[in-house]
Structure 1
Amino acid sequence: MNFTTDTFKTPENQIIFYYKWFAAENKPFKGVVQIAHGIGEHAGRYHSIAEKLQNEGFEVYANDHRNHGNSIKNEDYLGYYDGEDYFEDALNDMRQLSQIIQKEHPKNKIILFGHSMGSFLSRAYVIKFGKDVKILILSGTGSFMKGLGAFGILSAKFFTKMNGKHKSNELLKNLFFTQFNKAFKPNRTAVDWISSDEKQVDLFEADPLRIEDFSLSIFLDILQATKKINEFDAFLETPKNIPMYLFSGDQDPVGEMGKGVVKVAENYKKAGIKDLTLKLYKNGRHEMLNEINKIEVETDLLNWLNQKVTANK
């Protein structure tokens, strides 16, 4: 695996860490992929798919979102956010990385790949910076959960007024992740909901950069942004000519066991998206790239991507 790491500084002097996986020299160069990871994890968890992509002739970039992974001052800052709008800041950080990519690859638009929170960021990104994007890939995305999501927003607002937005809250932490795990009782771990592959679950639990505690504002900003992104106006504002690939497990609680993902796909089609493919995997959970059938998932993704890259030359 051939990769390097680097950093860039945001306008407010936050240091953002990122990876760059070089395209295989023995393959025709096919394009540039930018990955946006999910909440509580980091870009280093994407080495496997990045290696598959680079071996296909793609250059791959991925930053640790602020207050995640190595984009922190020290361990005390994992999950701690003291800014005004986490979602907007993370979106602008992605844009900065895109601009670095554009300087290094001026002839190539990016292939944007977002997982979970990163999928919501990516959906917002194509609305705001759609001219940067050639292809959009969404993993583990979902619609706005009216019950759980609405309660989460109200609770986050309440506790923010009570305790301040920079502190964490045990109730909110448990509200989502414990709720997600309930569908997989009896639970072996607190994160059974991410994958049915126990080895991958154990690796995630043991990851020193995994985040369990977040500032209230991170929860609130992401929930409010997710609600906005799932309003039909957002689907209408999405560029119509970007090929999209959505893939999820039909047992992913973030995607409401498939129903939320189907709803997202239907809304994109109603809004006039011309080229959209949806792939739901039976018995798959939240992280299809870490599921027991990950080879099948990777193969399906690469086949689709190669087809679209060839068709859009």
Structure 2
Amino acid sequence: MYYNTDILKSADGESICFYRWKANPNVPFKGVVQIVHGLGEHAGRYNEMAHLLQEEGYSVYANDHRAHGKTAEMNRLFGYYNGKEYFDDCIADMHALSNLMRSENPNSKFILFGHSMGSLFSRKYVTKYGEELDALILSGTASFIKVLGTIGLITASTVKAFKGRERGNAFLKDFFFGEFNKKFKPNRTKLDWISTDERQVDIFDADPYRTEDFSLGVFLDIIKNSKMVNSPEAFKATPKDLPILMFSGDKDPVGEMGKGVKRVAKQYEKFGIKDFTFNLYQGGRHEMLNEINAEAVRKEVIGWLNQRI
């Protein structure tokens, strides 16, 4: 174990659990990375990537989002969310963690690294706080998936009108996660879509912090914000001089088997990001950091970051 955990208070007083990996003191210090995890997982899954960054001279921080991981465990409310806007609350938590990072590492370079839902959080975050960052890394991001998003938005809005935002919904859970796995029939597990590395799939399948049952408001806000962060306004609001690395597998259903992430890449290029790098890995699924070629992917990420920091 290369980290410790702690609790911070967010802007609304909510207690948020976060991880801290301190940079190796025996190498030159380079900067601070905030990792932003995806839907249904937790920050502890990034221990290996964070350790590699530690050894390169970076300190790493990552919080468990509301309804996830150790943040949810404190209240024994996995998947439960009773707020008004999930993205805005989680981005406020990220900024609270960023402020703590700055207090502990003044005058440092700051990097944001978001995966999947965390990449959507990060893309919205930079429209508000992008000037505070020195680099952005996006893993397994998505364009707005028109069929999945439209059906999900209509269904979630209809159910919300009758049952409210706090209740779970089995149909939406199966609709989202099940649709992703359909691409890989016959399925060995319900998580085949995350990686071709069966060992990594089995580790996540057995993870006690893995969550799929979420309040309706979480699903609804993901769909709404997915549409928002893929709007021209969001790309326009991204600082043009912010270096961005984006990577995905070309068999990632969240990225529409490469088609969706290519649309995102074209938008970043269209709206004038000066330093934009896009890597699409052949045969890779949703979690390139847990793929069979994960070691090479991690080294490429760190190499890109070292060149900029």
Q: What is the number of residues matched between the two proteins?
A: 309
Quick one: distance in 2 between partners of 1:12 and 1:94? 13
What residue is the counterpart of 1:224 in the other structure?
A: 224
Amino acid at match of 2:106: P
Q: Given the two structures, how large is their TM-score scaled by the length of structure 2?
A: 0.98
**Unaligned residue ranges in structure 2 (runs of 5+):** none
Quick one: distance in 2 between partners of 1:264 and 1:287? 18
What residue is the counterpart of 1:292 in the other structure?
A: 292
**CA spacing shift, 1:62–1:266, aligned 2, 3 Å:** same
**Is the 2:79–2:211 Cα contact (8 Å) retained in structure 1?**
yes
Q: How does 1:118-137 map to 2 (within 5 A)?
A: 118-137=118-137
Q: CA deviation at 1:273?
A: 0.4
Amino acid at match of 1:81: Y
Q: CA deviation at 1:109?
A: 3.6
What residue is the counterpart of 2:301 in the other structure?
A: 301
Quick one: distance in 2 between partners of 1:2 and 1:216? 35
Q: CA deviation at 1:2?
A: 3.3
**Is the 1:109–1:132 Cα contact (8 Å) retained in structure 2?**
no
What residue is the counterpart of 2:90 in the other structure?
A: 90
SS in structure 2 at match of 1:70: helix
Quick one: distance in 2 between partners of 1:24 and 1:49? 14
Q: How does 1:128-277 map to 2 (within 5 A)?
A: 128-277=128-277
Quick one: distance in 2 between partners of 1:3 and 1:123? 26
SS in structure 2 at match of 1:19: strand
Quick one: distance in 1 between partners of 2:87 and 2:302? 29
Quick one: distance in 1 between partners of 2:11 and 2:272? 36
SS in structure 2 at match of 1:27: coil
Quick one: distance in 2 between partners of 1:237 and 1:12? 26
Q: Given the two structures, how large is their TM-score scaled by the length of structure 1?
A: 0.97
**Is the 2:230–2:264 Cα contact (8 Å) retained in structure 1?**
yes
**Unaligned residue ranges in structure 1 (runs of 5+):** none
Which stretch has the larger CA shift, 179-188 or 72-81?
A: 72-81
Which stretch has the larger CA shift, 99-108 or 65-74?
A: 65-74
SS in structure 1 at match of 2:69: coil
- Give a deviation string over 1:195-234, Cα, whole Å, max 9, x none: 0111110111111110010000000011101100001111
What residue is the counterpart of 1:36 in the other structure?
A: 36
Q: Percent identity?
A: 54
